[in-house]
């Protein structure tokens, strides 16, 4: 039977609750045996020994108490296993969230958002049935029959032998069927992941599909993927029903064999009625755990398939076990790139090829180059979204890989090309940068980002809900809210990837002045496409095909660097 050792390890923190739940299940089975014993005894005395009802009162009282205690242990087993399931799901979600935050860029490069959502939500929920139904039943299907055999053998050896001979047939056939089912469950889970990922991808790009008149083609594609999932699901269900049918059929035949052999011996006076009735009552209870295991076997396989997907996610990306350095804060230290090389998976060319340069503390450094030259990759490396393939990035002489995210993110702010806006109020979206900020601080930050006047025009002002990903905002408004966050956080290091790319020319001049005010005394790294940002930088680094081909001030590069001259002339034409 399928006991995944890695899955079993997930119960380590609640091992006592898990063990108690199994013991409670066995205790409930013990009281079932007691119920059978006193029921057989009472019937025997009343119908065969002509005893009156008062003569069996004691037996009936014990019977009722045993029934109540059995009900209690069944409830207690469920309550304890719920604790185990809750803890496992909580710990797994925490581990997944930690992994997603640690390796978000790498993971999102490899997987679609829909696949991740399916793994994180449905995958974790699939483990509920594994731990609450399949795993406890696996233990009970082994322990309960043994307990019953301990009581049956002293009373009737022949029935005990029949139990011993017939019982192993059920799990053996289930195993043979299950060897096929496990592979089918894995295929079904992959098919579900594929369908989830594709469907979300289509929903996000539905406007583009309609513009290019490809919606009908995509509907056919969705239908193909859905049919593939339906087919794999039906195959799994066939096996699940076959497994349940086999276990039910074998247990029914086995009970019938017990009934026939007990009945024949009873008819010829070779067995006492009380013993015969006791064995017959226990016969269904002996096979019940095995039958229930057959029914829950599918849930176990589904849980294992889901966990394989979760394991793959947790083991993907880079190893982010950071060693804490002595780094506490930026103290007039430079940022140094030393022979840094980086390339994305499935690409032959290197995005960054052995680059070395220094970003001076307290100064503004602009990074320019054609699209694809590696500018945004430098920002992602500095934000620990990616890790260099080789080389070092030093922050105040500390290797960035040895600095924990918490410590580093306390010192740095990022304004990206596509900032994320949460489905919350504008106030909450800005205040996320500083939990201790007052209302006046948030308003001041919004004013510096030239978004305050826009916000107060909304019906609810700062309390206006902006929708998912800022659905009710323009691109320029979203970018100005992101700038307001940077003003509010006021960190010593500021990373900006095209901070004014979506800003209207009306606000651009004022925003550039505000950014200069924000940058005063800070270490600023800015990926620049616009001329006004380049001119104000203390140092400009020119990239071409992942290599640094120039570094200096605007005037120095304009006189000595042909690539920069071409970029500058392009910038001028675009203005």
Q: Which residues are registered as beta bridge partners of 182?
A: none
In a domain, 298, yes or no: yes
Residue in this structure with the two tokens 């069996």, named with its chain if needed? 56
Cα–Cα distances in angstroms (integers) from residue 207 to residues 201, 212, 213, 215, 330, in the given order: 12, 9, 10, 9, 45
Name the band, by pLDDT with cuts 50, 70 and 90, for residue 81: very high
Residue in this structure with the two tokens 């069944």, named with its chain if needed? 74
Name the band, by pLDDT with cuts 50, 70 and 90, for residue 322: very low
Per-residue pLDDT, 573: 63
Per-residue pLDDT, 210: 66
**What tokens does 160 get?**
């005990």
Same structural domain, 224 and 176? yes
Name the band, by pLDDT with cuts 50, 70 and 90, for residue 323: very low
Same structural domain, 103 and 157? yes
Same structural domain, 98 and 244? yes
In a domain, 181, yes or no: yes
Is 2 in contact with 301 (CB distance < 8 Å)? yes
Name the band, by pLDDT with cuts 50, 70 and 90, for residue 499: low
In a domain, 453, yes or no: no
Same structural domain, 98 and 164? yes
Domain boundary among 314, 346, 379: 314
E strands in 238-325: none
In a domain, 466, yes or no: no
Same structural domain, 158 and 285? yes
Q: 193 versus 108: which is more confidently predicted?
A: 193
Rounded CA-CA distance 241/293 in Å is 13
In a domain, 503, yes or no: no
Q: List Cβ neighbours of 272 (8 Å cut-off, separation of 6 or more).
A: none
Cα–Cα distances in angstroms (integers) from residue 330 to residues 31, 101, 409, in the given order: 68, 23, 11
Same structural domain, 268 and 334? no
Rounded CA-CA distance 301/307 in Å is 10
Looking up residue 571, the CATH number of its domain turns out to be 3.40.50.300
Look at residues 172, 156, 15 and name the one whose alpha carbon lies nearest to residue 83: 15
Q: 105 versus 135: which is more confidently predicted?
A: 135
Q: List Cβ neighbours of 265 (8 Å cut-off, separation of 6 or more).
A: 158, 271, 276
Domain boundary among 314, 334, 358: 314
Instruction: Judge whether residue 318 has pLDDT over 60.
Output: no
- Sheet containing strand 398-399, edge to edge, reads 352-359, 335-342, 390-395, 398-399
Rounded CA-CA distance 209/220 in Å is 13
Same structural domain, 373 and 397? yes
Cα–Cα distances in angstroms (integers) from residue 443 to residues 422, 450, 466, in the given order: 19, 10, 17
Q: Which residues are registered as beta bridge partners of 524?
A: 364, 494
Mean pLDDT of 340-351: 79
What are the counts of helices (DSSP H) followed by strands (DSSP E) for the chain? 22, 10
**What tokens does 12 get?**
């380590």
Same structural domain, 103 and 230? yes
* 363-419 pLDDT, tens digit each: 888 888 887 788 888 888 888 878 888 888 888 888 888 887 778 888 888 888 778
Q: Which residues are registered as beta bridge partners of 369?
A: 543
In a domain, 520, yes or no: no
Query: Cβ of 427: how many Cβ atoms within 10 Å?
Result: 19
Look at residues 551, 537, 527, 561 and name the one whose alpha carbon lies nearest to residue 374: 527
Top mean pLDDT of 216-230, 434-448, 502-516 is at 434-448
Name the band, by pLDDT with cuts 50, 70 and 90, for residue 300: confident
In a domain, 42, yes or no: no
Cα–Cα distances in angstroms (integers) from residue 27 to residues 34, 70, 144, in the given order: 11, 7, 9
Domains of the chain: total: 2
Mean pLDDT taken over the chain: 80
Q: What's the chain's length in residues?
A: 575
Is 335 in contact with 395 (CB distance < 8 Å)? yes
Mean pLDDT of 435-460: 86
Q: List Cβ neighbours of 128 (8 Å cut-off, separation of 6 or more).
A: 85, 89
Look at residues 138, 190, 177 and name the one whose alpha carbon lies nearest to residue 7: 138
Name the band, by pLDDT with cuts 50, 70 and 90, for residue 351: confident
Look at residues 446, 441, 448, 470 and name the one whose alpha carbon lies nearest to residue 456: 446
Same structural domain, 189 and 280? yes
DSSP state of 131: I
Rounded CA-CA distance 375/542 in Å is 9
Handedness of CA 10, 12, 17, 22 (dihedral sign): positive
**What tokens does 15 get?**
């091992």
Q: List Cβ neighbours of 174 (8 Å cut-off, separation of 6 or more).
A: 1, 243, 246, 247, 293, 294, 297
DSSP state of 461: G
Mean pLDDT of 311-331: 57
Same structural domain, 265 and 403? no
In a domain, 455, yes or no: no
Same structural domain, 236 and 290? yes
Rounded CA-CA distance 171/178 in Å is 10
Instruction: Judge whether residue 29 has pLDDT over 90.
Output: yes
**What tokens does 321 get?**
């076990």
Top mean pLDDT of 5-9, 26-30, 135-139, 422-426 is at 26-30
* 188-245 pLDDT, tens digit each: 767 776 677 667 667 666 766 666 567 777 777 777 778 877 787 787 777 777 777 7
Handedness of CA 128, 134, 137, 138 (dihedral sign): negative
Q: CB-side exposure of 516: number of CA atoms within 13 Å?
A: 13
Q: Which secondary-structure segment (H or E) carries 493? A: strand 493-497
Q: Which secondary-structure segment (H or E) carries 533? A: helix 531-535
Pairing state between β 547-552 and 539-544: antiparallel
Q: Is 271 helix (H, G, I), strand (E, B) or coil?
A: coil
Q: Where are the alpha helices (DSSP H) in 268-384?
A: 273-314, 375-382
- Sheet containing strand 364-369, edge to edge, reads 412-415, 493-497, 523-527, 364-369, 539-544, 547-552
Per-residue pLDDT, 550: 86
The residue range of the domain holding 575 is: 325-411+541-575
Instruction: Judge whether residue 134 has pLDDT over 80.
Output: yes
Cα–Cα distances in angstroms (integers) from residue 275 to residues 88, 147, 162, 323, 574, in the given order: 45, 17, 16, 69, 98
Q: Which of 111-115, 171-175, 265-269 has the lowest mean pLDDT?
A: 111-115
Q: Is 140 helix (H, G, I), strand (E, B) or coil?
A: helix
**What tokens does 386 get?**
């990616």
Looking up residue 115, the CATH number of its domain turns out to be 1.20.1560.10
Rounded CA-CA distance 85/11 in Å is 8
Name the band, by pLDDT with cuts 50, 70 and 90, for residue 501: low
Same structural domain, 153 and 205? yes
Mean pLDDT of 118-125: 74
Domain boundary among 314, 344, 369: 314
């Amino acid at each position: 039977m399928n006991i995944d050792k890695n899955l079993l390890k997930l119960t380590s923190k609640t091992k006592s609750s898990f063990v108690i739940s199994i013991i409670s299940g066995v205790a409930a089975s013990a009281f079932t045996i007691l119920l059978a014993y006193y029921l057989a005894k009472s019937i025997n005395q009343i119908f065969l020994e002509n005893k009156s009802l008062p003569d069996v009162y004691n037996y009936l009282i014990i019977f009722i108490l045993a029934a109540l205690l059995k009900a209690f242990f069944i409830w207690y087993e469920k309550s304890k296993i719920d604790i185990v399931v809750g803890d496992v799901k909580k710990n797994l979600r925490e581990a997944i969230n930690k992994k997603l935050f640690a390796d978000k860029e790498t993971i999102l490069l490899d997987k679609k958002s829909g696949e991740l959502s399916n793994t994180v939500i449905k995958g974790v929920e699939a483990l509920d049935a594994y731990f609450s139904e399949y795993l406890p039943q696996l233990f009970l299907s082994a322990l309960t029959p043994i307990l019953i055999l301990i009581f049956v053998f002293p009373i009737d050896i022949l029935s005990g032998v029949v139990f011993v001979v017939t019982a192993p047939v059920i799990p053996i056939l289930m195993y043979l069927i299950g060897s096929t089912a496990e592979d089918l469950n894995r295929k079904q889970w992959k098919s579900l992941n594929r369908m989830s990922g594709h469907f979300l991808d289509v929903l996000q790009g539905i406007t583009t599909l309609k513009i290019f008149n490809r919606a009908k083609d995509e509907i056919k594609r969705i239908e193909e993927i859905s049919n593939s999932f339906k087919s794999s699901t039906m195959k799994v269900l066939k096996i699940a029903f076959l497994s349940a049918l086999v276990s039910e059929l074998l247990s029914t035949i086995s009970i019938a064999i017990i009934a026939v052999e007990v009945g024949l011996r009873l008819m010829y006076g070779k067995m006492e009625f009380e013993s015969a009735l006791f064995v017959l009552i226990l016969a269904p209870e002996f096979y019940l755990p095995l039958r229930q295991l057959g029914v829950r076997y599918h849930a176990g396989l589904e849980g294992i398939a889901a966990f394989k997907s979760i394991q793959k996610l947790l083991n993907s990306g880079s190893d982010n076990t950071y060693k804490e350095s002595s780094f506490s804060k930026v103290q007039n230290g430079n940022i140094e790139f030393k022979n840094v090389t980086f390339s994305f998976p499935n690409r032959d060319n290197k995005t960054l090829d052995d680059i070395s340069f220094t970003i001076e503390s307290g100064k503004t450094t602009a990074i320019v180059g054609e699209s694809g030259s590696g500018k945004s990759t430098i920002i992602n490396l500095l934000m620990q979204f990616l890790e260099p393939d080789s080389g070092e990035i030093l922050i105040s002489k500390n290797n960035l890989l040895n600095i924990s995210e918490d410590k580093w993110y306390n010192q740095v702010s990022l304004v990206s090309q596509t900032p994320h806006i949460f489905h919350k109020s504008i106030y909450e979206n800005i205040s996320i940068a500083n939990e201790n900020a007052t209302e006046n601080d948030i308003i001041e930050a919004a004013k510096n980002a030239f978004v305050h006047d826009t916000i107060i025009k909304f019906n609810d002002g700062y309390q206006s809900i902006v929708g998912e990903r800022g659905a009710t905002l323009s691109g320029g408004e979203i970018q100005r809210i992101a700038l307001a966050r940077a003003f509010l956080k006021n960190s010593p290091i500021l990373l900006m990837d095209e901070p004014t790319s979506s800003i209207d020319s009306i606000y651009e001049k004022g925003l550039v002045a505000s950014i200069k005010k924000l940058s005063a005394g800070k270490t600023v790294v800015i990926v620049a496409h616009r001329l006004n940002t380049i001119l104000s930088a203390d140092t400009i680094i020119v990239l071409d095909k992942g290599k640094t081909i120039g570094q200096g001030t605007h005037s120095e590069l304009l006189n000595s660097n042909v690539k920069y001259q071409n970029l500058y002339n392009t910038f001028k034409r675009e203005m």
